[in-house]
Structure 1
Amino acid sequence: MVEFTVQNLNGEEVERLRGVFGPFTDSVRELIDATIRTEVDADVVATAKAEIDAITARLRSAQLDGPFGVRLSEGGQMPWGNPVIGLRNPIAPPLVMRRSADGGIHADFHLGAAYEGPPGHVHGGVSALILDHVLGEAASSAQNPRLTGTISMRYLRTTPLGDLHTEARIVRTEGVKTFAVGHIADADGVTVEAEGVFITPKWAR
């Protein structure tokens, strides 16, 4: 049982919640994949549905009023509902972002059946979602948040499902505008490129 509010947590409390919700979300992520790819009989599906409905009802017996939002801890932000990096969001791959020595951002990640567009390949909208987030991470910092102004994509070839890599970096900054570029790549090279303009919002200036 979680006995504290998910806000302004210390490091020990954050790690405790990671231990509770990280594995739980991984299990739901596996359920999504299994739901897409299962070939069991209809009676097994019906039984599973009843079990899932019962679990959902139990989880809804105590829940947040609205989305998770971006909670705070002594270590910084906790965007655990985010669809790209969210610890508690089973539709997030999730990406674990790392900052390079040159200030850029990179991540290695895996996309399975839940992200398919063309057969065996990643949906273009999923690639756009990931790159929007990754470029935004590269363009921002804790002291200087920046939001997407415009972003453009260039699909060089279809991106296969499986193990992938993404990275992004700042090109230049002009006043409240920061320009960033990035890409997604598989083992054979870059599949999608992106460039965008990210704006420092008025409340952060």
Structure 2
Amino acid sequence: MTAGTEQPELTSPGTGTGIDAAADAARRVIESLLRSGDRGGTDLDTVADRLNAVADDLDRGAPDLAARMVHMWRGDGVTRHDPVTGPENAIAPPLHLTGCEDGSVEATVELGLAHQGPPGYVHGGMSALLLDHTLGVANHWAGLSGMTAELTLRYLRPTPLFTPLTVAAHQVSVDGRRIRTSGSISADGRECVRAEGLFVATHPARPR
């Protein structure tokens, strides 16, 4: 794929209905539970019963796991279920990546309590997850993608919560099946985390 001038979105924007709306609601529940803790005025035992009842309803109507896996991977479009950009995955922020004219990809996201590590800052593992995925999307945008073989991160400064973060990446070089890609997470114009990745141009078979 060649980068164009329209800066297309490379991840699903979500529909706002159905499973996407339910996942949005689940994200809100996760954040609200963390915000409330056990010192709020809400009866959390009752909340747990209500949430378990919702989960029971979902389980009763769920398809066979193998069938669901096939459905998840149908077609050749952008996946909707991954833990970084998937609108139907409640643990995804989600990140909305766009392709830029210079061949890079970029997104802005704000993370809350669900992604906290040190007090007031993003967990380092969450930063690694965001960057691993963003580097992979940068490879797809550049025209050759693959599986992560090596990911090296430098944590330059703590990454703040409740602050717009810029997550960006670009493909650096291709040598046969070996792809090198770099990226970063920045806040207020300052790099917080820098990543260098080595990818191998291979893909596992999709469930059938």
TM-score using structure 2 length: 0.82
* Partner secondary structure for residue 158 of structure 2: coil
Could you report, residue by residue, the CA deviation over 1:34-56 in whole angstroms, capped at 9, with x for unpaired residues?
111113247x1011111111111
1:138 is the counterpart of 2:135: no
Q: Is the CA contact 1:159–1:191 (under 8 Å) kept in the aligned structure 2? A: yes
Q: Is the CA contact 2:145–2:199 (under 8 Å) kept in the aligned structure 1? A: no
Amino acid at match of 1:47: T
How many angstroms does 1:87 deviate by? Answer: 1.1
Candidates 25, 35, 38, aligned match of 1:37: 35
Name 1:6's counterpart in structure 2. none
Name 1:86's counterpart in structure 2. 86
Name 2:74's counterpart in structure 1. 72
Name 2:45's counterpart in structure 1. 46
How many angstroms does 1:140 deviate by? Answer: 2.4
How many angstroms does 1:72 deviate by? Answer: 3.1
TM-score using structure 1 length: 0.83
Moved over 2 A (4+): 14-19, 39-42, 64-73, 140-145
Amino acid at match of 1:62: G
Matches of 1:26 and 1:124, distance apart in 2: 24
How many angstroms does 1:203 deviate by? Answer: 6.9
Name 2:168's counterpart in structure 1. 167
How many angstroms does 1:19 deviate by? Answer: 2.4
Matches of 2:126 and 2:13, distance apart in 1: 29
Name 1:154's counterpart in structure 2. 154
Identity of aligned residues (%): 32
RCO comparison, higher one (Cα < 8 Å, 6+) = 2
Residues 1:21 and 1:194: Cα distance change in structure 2 (over 3 Å)? same
How many angstroms does 1:144 deviate by? Answer: 3.6
CA RMSD after TM alignment: 2.5
Residues 1:31 and 1:84: Cα distance change in structure 2 (over 3 Å)? same
* Partner secondary structure for residue 79 of structure 1: coil
Residues 1:180 and 1:58: Cα distance change in structure 2 (over 3 Å)? same
Amino acid at match of 1:20: G
1:26 is the counterpart of 2:27: no
Name 2:197's counterpart in structure 1. 196
Amino acid at match of 2:23: T
Could you report, residue by residue, the CA deviation over 1:99-124 in whole angstroms, capped at 9, with x for unpaired residues?
00122110011110000000000000
1:101 is the counterpart of 2:101: yes
Matches of 2:127 and 2:73, distance apart in 1: 26
Q: Which runs of 5+ in 2 are unaligned?
A: 1-11
Residues 1:49 and 1:202: Cα distance change in structure 2 (over 3 Å)? closer
Q: Is the CA contact 1:72–1:78 (under 8 Å) kept in the aligned structure 2? A: no
Name 2:60's counterpart in structure 1. 61
Q: Is the CA contact 2:151–2:196 (under 8 Å) kept in the aligned structure 1? A: yes
Q: Which structure features the higher share of strand residues?
A: 1
